[in-house]
């Protein structure tokens, strides 16, 4: 199964935060088979002076999406994220790892549970997700 991740950071050394998260995903989730370039974006949904660094990564895994969600939450905590967004209220963060979509045997997994919705319900609305997502899709297509 392929899991697509959206990553963002707007505190500290943003590029290092993204690279650290990618390394931890590789170690704990599975082989990262494609990573986008880093894109800059203004905060959305809240006011901050801190610009975001964003990217998309794709990992091949044998874990279920629910297991991967727990792994990403643990990585966020270990990297210093102290709180998640609640009721659409966002804030600055050292790292944010979102599961965007999961594909198994060329089929998109559709999931709606209290803890996880796939594909991510807001990804189509966010250029900072869709631009790097198209980049990793072209990388994966070139490998086939």
Residue 46 belongs to what domain range? 2-143
pTM of the model as a whole: 0.93
Per-residue pLDDT tens digits for 73-86:
999 999 998 766 65
CA gap 11, 50 in Å, rounded: 7
Q: What is the mean pLDDT of residues 88-111?
A: 90
Q: What string of DSSP letters covers 28-59?
A: HT--EEEE---EEE--SSS--S--EEEEEEEE
pLDDT top residue among 32 and 84: 32
pLDDT in tens, 53-72: 999 999 999 999 999 999 99
Total domain count, the chain: 1
Alpha carbons 134 and 132: distance in angstroms, whole number: 5
Q: pLDDT grade, residue 46 (50/70/90)?
A: confident
Average pLDDT, rounded, for the chain: 93
Question: With pLDDT > 70 as the criterion, what percentage of the chain qualifies?
Answer: 95
CATH of the domain at 86: 3.30.70.560
User: Residue 141 above 80 pLDDT?
Assistant: yes
């Amino acid at each position: 199964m392929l899991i697509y991740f959206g990553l963002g950071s707007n505190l500290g050394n943003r590029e290092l935060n993204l690279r650290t998260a990618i390394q931890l995903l590789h170690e704990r989730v599975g082989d990262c088979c494609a990573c986008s370039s880093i894109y800059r974006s203004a905060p959305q949904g809240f006011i901050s002076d801190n610009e975001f660094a964003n990217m998309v990564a794709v990992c091949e895994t044998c874990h279920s999406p629910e297991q991967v969600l727990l792994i990403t939450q643990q990585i966020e905590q270990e990297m210093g994220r102290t709180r998640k967004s609640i009721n659409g209220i966002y804030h600055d963060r050292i790292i944010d790892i979102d599961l965007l979509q999961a594909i198994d045997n060329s089929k998109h997994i559709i999931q709606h549970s209290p803890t996880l919705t796939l594909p991510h319900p807001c990804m189509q609305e966010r250029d900072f997700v869709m631009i790097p997502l198209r980049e990793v899709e072209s990388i994966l297509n070139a490998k086939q």
